[in-house]
Amino acid sequence: MARTHVVLLGPPGAGKGTQAKQIVDKYGLTHLSTGDILRDEVARATDLGKTAKEFMNRGDLVPDQLIIDMIRGRIEAADAGFLLDGFPRTTAQAEALGRFATIDVVLNIGLARDEVVRRLTSRRVCKGCGEIYNLTFNLAEGETTCAKCGGELYQRDDDKTDVIANRYDIYERSTAPLIDYYKRQGVLRTLDGLAGSEKVFSEIIDILTA
């Protein structure tokens, strides 16, 4: 595969995590999700986790420098390539990233606000293995355990309607400018997040293997 330094960009709920799991399974890239890393820090009640938790529960971004310090070593250690999921989210993060890594392609998954709200209010995640589900299409009514590992399914603290609205506003203000930033660098590819996840995945395969 020619492209091994890959960024997934898109609003909350666009399907970044869902696609990321399939991409890294197929290509052996290191999956680096800043959201997952932060939730692990929160669960372990580290200093970083305690600081990050307040920002995350409001749907605000965790300060740039904390995120950059958290992710940099992991990117540099990913010898077989990396898939960045949820990073960068601000121009300052993108500029920092550009100073320590090259980026081959940015997969920009677009999704409008109303669909984001629908998807995130019905998202459920496995506590055991992190598998991502949705009440509207792959969970039977009343199902509370993971089909893959039997773990308990839960709703993220930030997947509540008022927090989701704030996250989308922040996406538009702070993260959407990265679309033009990466377009100017000639590495942006845009996908329609409204399509089914199999369709999105097959388009990603075409881009990554081209």
Residue ranges that bind ligand ADP, judged by CB under 6 A: 10, 12-18, 34-35, 38, 55-56, 59-62, 67, 86-87, 89, 93, 119, 123, 132-134, 158, 167, 196-197, 200
Contacted entry of ligand ADP, Zn ion, none for residue 34, CB cut-off 5 to 8 Å set by kind? ligand ADP
CB 109 within 8 A of CB 200: yes
User: Looking at beta carbons only, is 116 or 146 nearer to Zn ion?
Assistant: 146
Cα–Cα distance, 191 to 115 (Å, whole number): 15
156 is catalytic: yes
CA dihedral 104, 199, 131, 122 (to 10 degrees): 120
- Exactly one of 53, 119, 124, 167 is catalytic; which is it? 167
Contacted entry of ligand ADP, Zn ion, none for residue 130, CB cut-off 5 to 8 Å set by kind? none
Tokens of 164: 């989701």
- Exactly one of 3, 53, 119, 123 is catalytic; which is it? 123
89 is catalytic: yes
CB 20 within 8 A of CB 120: no
The single-letter DSSP state of residue 102 is -
Contacted entry of Zn ion, ligand ADP, none for residue 59, CB cut-off 5 to 8 Å set by kind? ligand ADP
User: Looking at beta carbons only, is 2 or 73 nearer to ligand ADP?
Assistant: 73
189 is catalytic: no
Burial of 156: CB neighbours in 10 Å, binned 0-12, 13-18, 19+: middle
Cα–Cα distance, 45 to 27 (Å, whole number): 33
Residue from 112, 149, 207, 210 touching Zn ion (CB under 5 A): that is 149
Draw the binding track, 26-65, toward Zn ion (x: CB under 5 A; -: no contact).
----------------------------------------
- Exactly one of 53, 89, 119, 189 is catalytic; which is it? 89
Beta bridge partners of 153: 126
Q: In what order do the strands lie in the sheet with 82-85?
A: 30-33, 82-85, 5-9, 105-110, 188-192
Active site residue ranges: 16, 89, 123, 156, 167
What residues line the site for Zn ion (CB under 5 A)? Answer: 126, 128-129, 131, 146, 148-149, 151
